[in-house]
């Protein structure tokens, strides 16, 4: 995304992602890719200091059916 780290609350543990008119998907927040299994979707702040919606060792565009220019809606869920 073009979103910086300031949009992700420090207490966020999950993000509900909705792409265009698809059903929402709940994705865990991680500090690194290594925290999740290969093939798992994840939300994190990447090395470019931007919010990333990714799949560990995979392709998030394919797994989440996101085409070029897809509208992305995010909703944070904070832990305690």
Band of the pLDDT at 66, cuts 50, 70, 90?
confident
Q: Is the dihedral of CA 44, 49, 60, 7 positive or negative?
A: positive
CA dihedral of residues 36, 45, 74, 26 (deg, nearest 10): 10
DSSP string, the chain: ----GGGS-TTEEEEEEEETTSPPEEEEB-SSGGGS-TT-EEEEE-TTSSEEEEETTS-HHHHTT--TT--EEEEEEE--
Instruction: State the pLDDT at residue 33.
Output: 95
pLDDT, one tens digit per residue, over 28-56 is: 999 999 999 999 999 999 999 999 999 99
User: pLDDT at residue 80 above 60?
Assistant: no
Instruction: State the pLDDT at residue 13.
Output: 92
pTM of the model: 0.84
């Amino acid at each position: 995304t073009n979103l910086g780290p300031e949009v992700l609350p420090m207490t966020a543990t999950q993000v509900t992602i909705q792409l265009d008119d698809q059903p929402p998907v709940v994705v865990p927040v991680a500090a690194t890719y290594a925290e999740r299994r290969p093939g798992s979707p994840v939300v994190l702040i990447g090395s470019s200091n931007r919010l990333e919606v990714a799949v560990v060792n995979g392709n998030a565009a394919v797994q989440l059916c996101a085409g070029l220019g897809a509208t992305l809606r995010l909703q944070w869920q904070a832990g305690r």
